[in-house]
Amino acid sequence: MKTSVTQENLAKAVSAVSRMVSNRSALPVLSNILIATESGRLKLSATNLEVGINYWIGAKVEEEGSITVPARLFQEFITSLSDGNIDLATDGDSLVVEAPQVKSSINGIGAEEFPLIPQLKTEPVLQLTADELKDALAQVVVAASSDEARPVLTGVYIYNEGNKLILVSTDSYRLAEKKITLKKKPTTDINLIVPARTIQELVRLLGDSEAGLSLFVSDNQIMFEIDGVELTSRLIDGQFPDYRQIIPKGSETVIEAATDEVSRVTKLASLFARENAGSIRLDVKAEGRMDVVANPSQVGENTSSTNCQVEGENSEISLNARYLSDALGVIKNDNLTIILNGKLNPCVIHPADDKPDYLHIIMPLRT
Amino acid sequence: MKTSVTQENLAKAVSAVSRMVSNRSALPVLSNILIATESGRLKLSATNLEVGINYWIGAKVEEEGSITVPARLFQEFITSLSDGNIDLATDGDSLVVEAPQVKSSINGIGAEEFPLIPQLKTEPVLQLTADELKDALAQVVVAASSDEARPVLTGVYIYNEGNKLILVSTDSYRLAEKKITLKKKPTTDINLIVPARTIQELVRLLGDSEAGLSLFVSDNQIMFEIDGVELTSRLIDGQFPDYRQIIPKGSETVIEAATDEVSRVTKLASLFARENAGSIRLDVKAEGRMDVVANPSQVGENTSSTNCQVEGENSEISLNARYLSDALGVIKNDNLTIILNGKLNPCVIHPADDKPDYLHIIMPLRT
């Protein structure tokens, strides 16, 4: 291999790709990233066997070739170089890197040991923009489970109903559902579960991009493609539970309040709730006030109030403070709606909107 | 106790004071901060028995009193409150905190269990400004040892020669010395060793302040006083080694280079030097170039160059990359001077200046 790239492009690609590298892999080559010339461009790849990434950048290719090099060293090294051109060349199992006033040789592993990251060479199932998918995924993945005992709950369930794309996660204590209206129906119906870790990496990768994003699906894999980057992930086997039954229909008490105010009082109460396993109580007064209460514990007690609009009767509910602040953290609207149906039924939180496209449901704590 | 303070003042004080609290103390009261009314102000105190802090803020005092409360909870709580007045009152061993729409009770421990932080009620030995002492301390403490086997090296040695105040640290592999010219001679001669941890806390505490700072000394304690804050520390017993003998007199090869350029090439080499215990080599060419070389190791090798002015002969020296970057990190001048006397003698680094007030000496590695 003999090729030349700009430091800026290479640094961006290496930073994105090296995130997928597992630091604790038993297979040394999985700590490396693959660098390969391909059709006049340079391809960087990494995989942890669950999710893999291929990242193409423009390059002047003089000699085709490929090699793998340690991800961490290569990333730190490339991002520490100044702007300018970087020459890359293989020398046996080493990669020789030359930049102005810098010459390095990095010991690598032959590219033939690197696992293949499949490219799903089908038609895209659907297309949308990076920013709309990113925000939606971030709002949903927060509710996914980290308990491997029920694998289907450790992912984001993605399906469609006509031109509605619906994203759902739940860890059985809380549930988040987001609906996106697509310009065009998917070419085939979608019904799959993507690992939460893949989704978290995808959210980071999408960054602030507003580019178009295509989604490709095979039997057991999904691929997201955007601007010369492909993220390929295994899917989670199994049937996502029929979650619609737990979305409460009633609306005995409906609160509308400023999102940052509710965040502030939740934060205060949560400090005092640590000894009580995070349990805090929302105490809603029909006259227009919500108290957030941390009950007396070893450390003390706290009550903080916020003004709000209340429709319906006085109500109260005990919630896990962390679940509530996770939900508040992903609601970007200035105002939010909280719906209570007594202290034994789940609480619904959504952006203040007559037809919200996002619902966050939290199960009550029995106290 | 019954008193009222502003959130802004209290948050600032609590944040500064709670830093001194040890999280791993066997004595529960040492995880707490003391809050006490005193002469119409509110005093906050914390100590880890090595260093203690008293921090006064303005307060409206209705009833004298004192209590201790858990530092971490109190700090997170107070800094999470909005601007405005905060009322503090004791209720038995609890502290009741009221702010607009917030009411809390924090369980504490009686103030009588809190150790006394001595105030050195003597005349100040010397006075200078916070910013000049802070920068000087930060430049020196980086070379202090963390090895408790030789306690005198775990501190900053502070002494005076007439109106010169001299600060020194060494871990025996490197040494940093800074001279400050005082407007007035100290009232008595100074010759003491302050623990590096105290110095690090003092540097943080001084922040960007340009206020006047007074220094008080007793037999085994030192107190720094600035703007209503007193930091009191034990001193380290013992005799600091006579370090002046190791400051090289010669100047066979004198290099002047841009500080950020030397930092950049050092960083690049250090990435490749990890497997070689951080060993890098400076290779100086009389024609005006310095190569920083990481020798071949398991990961690879690297040579980076920077242009520089060289007086004298070609020279080279092997150094620990971390020691070199520590030194570069505290030299704020655009240009620096490196003095070499062959590969077996210590290397001297100082800001480019005919009469530098700062010297950093690094022992060579034998290779």
Residues of chain A neighbouring B103 (CB-CB closer than 8 A): 302-304
Terminal Cα distance for chain A, rounded: 66
Q: Please tell me the distance from the alpha carbon of residue B88 to that of residue B86, in angstroms, as a whole number.
A: 6
Alpha-carbon B309 to chain mean position: 33
- Flag whether residue B295 sits within 8 Å of chain A, measured between CB atoms: no
pLDDT at A25 over 80: no
Q: Which helix (H) or strand (E) holds B104?
A: strand B102-107
Q: Can you give the pLDDT at residue A121?
A: 76
Whether B142 contacts B175, CB under 8 Å: no
- Flag whether residue B109 sits within 8 Å of chain A, measured between CB atoms: no
Q: B284's torsion region: left (phi>0), alpha (psi -120 to 50) or beta? A: beta
- Flag whether residue B23 sits within 8 Å of chain A, measured between CB atoms: no
Residues of chain B neighbouring A79 (CB-CB closer than 8 A): none
Q: Can you give the pLDDT at residue B259?
A: 97
- Residue B103's SS3 state is strand
- Across B294-319, average pLDDT: 96
* CB within 8 Å of B323: residues ≥ 6 apart: B173, B174, B362
Q: Please tell me the distance from the alpha carbon of residue B67 to that of residue B107, in angstroms, as a whole number.
A: 10
Token pair listed for B282: 């400076």
The nearest CA of chain B is from the CA of A102 a distance in Å of: 4
pLDDT at B22 over 90: no
- Flag whether residue B224 sits within 8 Å of chain A, measured between CB atoms: no
What one-character-per-residue DSSP string does A213-269 give?
Answer: EEEEE-SSEEEEEETTEEEEEEPPPS----GGGGS----SEEEEEEHHHHHHHHHHH
Contacts across the A-B interface (CB distance below 8 Å): 90
Q: Please tell me the distance from the alpha carbon of residue A193 to that of residue A191, in angstroms, as a whole number.
A: 7
Whether A193 contacts A220, CB under 8 Å: no
* Interface contact flag, A77 B106, Cβ < 8 Å: no
Q: Can you give the pLDDT at residue A119?
A: 81
Q: Please tell me the distance from the alpha carbon of residue B25 to that of residue B113, in angstroms, as a whole number.
A: 14
pTM of the model: 0.91
Q: What is the CA radius of gyration of chain B?
A: 24
Q: Can you give the pLDDT at residue B25?
A: 78
* Interface contact flag, B106 A296, Cβ < 8 Å: no
Strand residue runs (E) in A100-163: 102-107, 126-129, 155-161
Whether B356 contacts B350, CB under 8 Å: yes
Q: Which helix (H) or strand (E) holds B311?
A: strand B309-312
Whether A336 contacts A257, CB under 8 Å: yes
* Interface contact flag, B272 A296, Cβ < 8 Å: no
Q: Can you give the pLDDT at residue A38?
A: 95
- Residue A317's SS3 state is strand
Q: Please tell me the distance from the alpha carbon of residue B340 to that of residue B354, in angstroms, as a whole number.
A: 17
Q: Please tell me the distance from the alpha carbon of residue A109 to that of residue A34, in angstroms, as a whole number.
A: 9
* CB within 8 Å of A354: residues ≥ 6 apart: none
pLDDT at B121 over 80: no
Q: Can you give the pLDDT at residue A68?
A: 98
* Interface contact flag, B299 A104, Cβ < 8 Å: no
- Flag whether residue B106 sits within 8 Å of chain A, measured between CB atoms: yes
Which pLDDT tens digit goes with each residue over B217-269? 998 999 999 998 999 999 999 999 999 999 999 999 999 999 999 999 999 99
Q: Can you give the pLDDT at residue A122?
A: 82
Q: Can you give the pLDDT at residue B342?
A: 95
Mean of pLDDT over chain B: 95
The band of A367, judged by pLDDT with boundaries at 50, 70 and 90, is confident
Q: Can you give the pLDDT at residue A86?
A: 98
Name the nearest CA neighbour of B158 among B169, B174, B147, B149: B169
Q: Which helix (H) or strand (E) holds A74?
A: helix A71-80
Which pLDDT tens digit goes with each residue over A166-204? 999 999 999 999 999 999 999 999 999 999 999 999 999
- Across A261-274, average pLDDT: 96
- Flag whether residue B271 sits within 8 Å of chain A, measured between CB atoms: yes
Instruction: Report how far apart, in Å, the C-alpha atoms of A201 and of each of A12, A47, A54, A196, B171 are.
Output: 15, 12, 13, 9, 43
* CB within 8 Å of A171: residues ≥ 6 apart: A143, A144, A145, A146, A147, A153
Residues of chain B neighbouring A105 (CB-CB closer than 8 A): 296, 300-302
Q: Can you give the pLDDT at residue B120?
A: 84
Q: Can you give the pLDDT at residue B119?
A: 80
Closest alpha carbon within chain B to A78: B268
The nearest CA of chain B is from the CA of A327 a distance in Å of: 19
What one-character-per-residue DSSP string does B227-287 give?
Answer: TTEEEEEEPPPS----GGGGS----SEEEEEEHHHHHHHHHHHHHHHGGGTTEEEEEEETT
- Flag whether residue A103 sits within 8 Å of chain B, measured between CB atoms: yes
Residues of chain A neighbouring B271 (CB-CB closer than 8 A): 73, 76-77, 80
- Residue B76's SS3 state is helix
The band of A366, judged by pLDDT with boundaries at 50, 70 and 90, is confident
Which pLDDT tens digit goes with each residue over B159-175? 999 999 999 999 999 99
| Mutation site, A97, A103, A266, interface B, largest B CB count within 10 A | A103
Q: Please tell me the distance from the alpha carbon of residue B67 to that of residue B108, in angstroms, as a whole number.
A: 7
Q: How many CB atoms lie within 10 A of CB B232?
A: 23
Estimate the crossing angle of helix A130-141 against helix A196-206, to 10 degrees. Answer: 140
Of A267, A301, A303, the CB nearest to B80: A267
Q: Please tell me the distance from the alpha carbon of residue B239 to that of residue B193, in angstroms, as a whole number.
A: 8
- Flag whether residue B105 sits within 8 Å of chain A, measured between CB atoms: yes
- Flag whether residue B289 sits within 8 Å of chain A, measured between CB atoms: no
What one-character-per-residue DSSP string does B7-52 give?
Answer: HHHHHHHHHHHHTT--TT-SSGGGGEEEEEEETTEEEEEEE-SSEE
Whether A365 contacts A187, CB under 8 Å: no
β-strand B289-294 against B32-38: which pairing, if any?
unpaired
Residues of chain A neighbouring B264 (CB-CB closer than 8 A): 80, 82
Q: Please tell me the distance from the alpha carbon of residue B64 to that of residue B45, in angstroms, as a whole number.
A: 16
Token pair listed for A14: 């290496």
- Flag whether residue A73 sits within 8 Å of chain B, measured between CB atoms: yes
pLDDT at A24 over 80: no
Q: Please tell me the distance from the alpha carbon of residue B14 to that of residue B76, in angstroms, as a whole number.
A: 9
Closest alpha carbon within chain B to A103: B303
Report which residue type is found at A303.
Answer: T
Closest alpha carbon within chain B to A109: B299
- Across A115-129, average pLDDT: 89
Whether B115 contacts B303, CB under 8 Å: no
Token pair listed for A242: 């029929």
Residues of chain A neighbouring B298 (CB-CB closer than 8 A): 107
Closest alpha carbon within chain A to B304: A102
* Interface contact flag, B300 A94, Cβ < 8 Å: yes
Of B73, B301, B303, the CB nearest to A271: B73
Closest alpha carbon within chain B to A69: B299
* Interface contact flag, A70 B299, Cβ < 8 Å: yes
Which pLDDT tens digit goes with each residue over A207-246? 999 999 999 999 899 999 999 899 999 999 999 999 999 9
Closest alpha carbon within chain B to A289: B101
* Interface contact flag, B94 A267, Cβ < 8 Å: no
Q: Where are the alpha helices (DSSP H) in chain B?
A: 7-18, 71-80, 130-141, 196-206, 259-273, 321-330
* Interface contact flag, B268 A304, Cβ < 8 Å: no
Q: Please tell me the distance from the alpha carbon of residue B304 to that of residue B44, in angstroms, as a whole number.
A: 51
Q: Which helix (H) or strand (E) holds A78?
A: helix A71-80
The nearest CA of chain A is from the CA of B52 a distance in Å of: 24
